Amino acid sequence: MTSKERVKTVLRHEEPDRVPVGEVYIDYPIVEKVLGRETFCWAHARTIKALWGGFRDEVVESQKKDTVEFTQKVGVDVVTVYLVPPKNQIILPPTKLDDRTWEDNAGNIFKYYEETEDIVLVKKGNKTVTTPAQPPPDDSEWELWDYVVAKLGKTHFIIASYGGPALGIGGYYTSAEDRFTGFEQRLIEIFENPEPHAEAEVRSALGYSETVKMLSLRGLDAIRMSPDYGYHRPYCSPALFRRAFLPGLKACCEELHAGGLPLLLHCDSNVDVLINQLVEAGVDIYQAIQKYEPIALYKQLYGDKLTLWGAVDCHDLSTASPKEIRQQVRGLIKQCAHGGGFILGSSHNIMISTRYDNFMTMLETAFNDGKYPIHI
């Protein structure tokens, strides 16, 4: 059974040869450990600085080859594709102020943070500048996508985050102002008047099925969207969620299904009080399940409708022992693998801090103990 067949089998809530294993993305330290060389795959600040320096082709070439080779070497069943900066994109590199700070010609200040290896927009500039208009992207923005599909599309389950409705609260760098100040203001507006938000999301979903059909022809097997309806808990009550977010989520599911693809919903929250509404909306896959979520209850209540993807704890992958990871993986397989509808993976993604031995233990345990029929 190929990886693609394996994942599609569990999406039908049937049992394949073994539990599929996958990650939305795997930060570069694990990739480099496996391949034995530097990479631009999910390389955060390194990628940004390389693009600023005019090394777009080198970045993309590394992402293409390293994605395929890494996937084949470690044996994961899911691979993520994405658009890359097109060759004709005009990049105006900022001026370096010190080893971790840059300023562009508009006065925007960017800062590097070692903990996450991200470059963040920390202060918006107020200079009036004339920037050259970007030409329409050429086909080179699909360069990585098409390469991965050509090499792995027949054998692996291909996912991507691609456009679509805003679906929630929620470049290459993050804006601190937008994540905090703007985020807070949006929450207040939604709380005070949820219906306009819901109506806007429904409108943004309409007609998306045509894009979905194109992406399916381009080799995609599922579309991932990341609404982030909460952090440790949802940002709103179930009643408010039903008014503000459920209509848009349902419309989005309908459009994706009309286009022939399932919706993979990534959400940074314990959604135990919302899980029934996710199922009602038509979500196919719920990913980023946290350790503190009642995954066994999800399986019991909705295991014939919703495919669960998780939930090996990211913190434990970074701090625990391989023995603890093995026990956690075995427990998840025992609770969730019966009847299909389960993909094993981390509770979010394989982070920079993930220990190599723990990552490999997670895979090895799934490959050995996740064979059907399950005997744990």
Per residue in 290-315, pLDDT (tens digit) is 999 999 999 999 999 999 999 999 99
pTM, 2 dp: 0.94
**CB hemisphere CA count around 292 (13 angstroms):** 8
Structure tokens that stand for 201 in this block: 């999301």
Indicate if 126 and 137 belong to the same structural domain: no
Indicate if 54 and 104 belong to the same structural domain: no
Structure tokens that stand for 366 in this block: 């799934």
Quick check: 220 and 264 in contact, CB under 8 A? Answer: no
Q: Which domain holds residue 285?
A: 1-21+160-376
pLDDT band at 130 (very low <50, low <70, confident <90, very high): confident
Indicate if 42 and 30 belong to the same structural domain: yes
- Characterise 248 by phi-psi region: left (phi > 0), alpha (psi -120 to 50), beta (else): alpha
Instruction: Please give the average per-residue pLDDT across 241-252, as a whole number.
Output: 96
Q: What angle do CA 337, 343, 348 make, to 5 degrees?
A: 130
**What is the distance between the alpha carbons of residues 11 and 212, in angstroms, rounded to a whole number?**
18
C-alpha distances in Å from residue 235, one per residue of 190, 191, 324 = 11, 10, 32
Indicate if 137 and 167 belong to the same structural domain: no
Pair type for strands 118-123 and 101-103 = unpaired
Indicate if 345 and 209 belong to the same structural domain: yes
Indicate if 182 and 255 belong to the same structural domain: yes
Q: Reading across the β-sheet that carries 174-175, which strands appear in turn?
A: 95-98, 101-103, 109-113, 118-123, 174-175
Indicate if 199 and 115 belong to the same structural domain: no
Indicate if 249 and 370 belong to the same structural domain: yes
pLDDT for the residue 151:
98
Indicate if 4 and 42 belong to the same structural domain: no
Indicate if 100 and 172 belong to the same structural domain: no
pLDDT for the residue 173:
47
Indicate if 69 and 99 belong to the same structural domain: no
- Average pLDDT across the chain, whole number: 93
Q: Single out the residue of 369, 363, 368 nearest to residue 336, CA to CA.
A: 369
Q: How many domains does the structure of the chain reveal?
A: 3
pLDDT for the residue 216:
98
Which of 80-94, 122-136, 268-282 is least confident? 122-136
> What is the helix (H) or strand (E) element at residue 35, kind and residue range?
helix 28-35
Indicate if 294 and 328 belong to the same structural domain: yes
Structure tokens that stand for 367 in this block: 């490959």
CATH number where 257 lies: 3.20.20.210
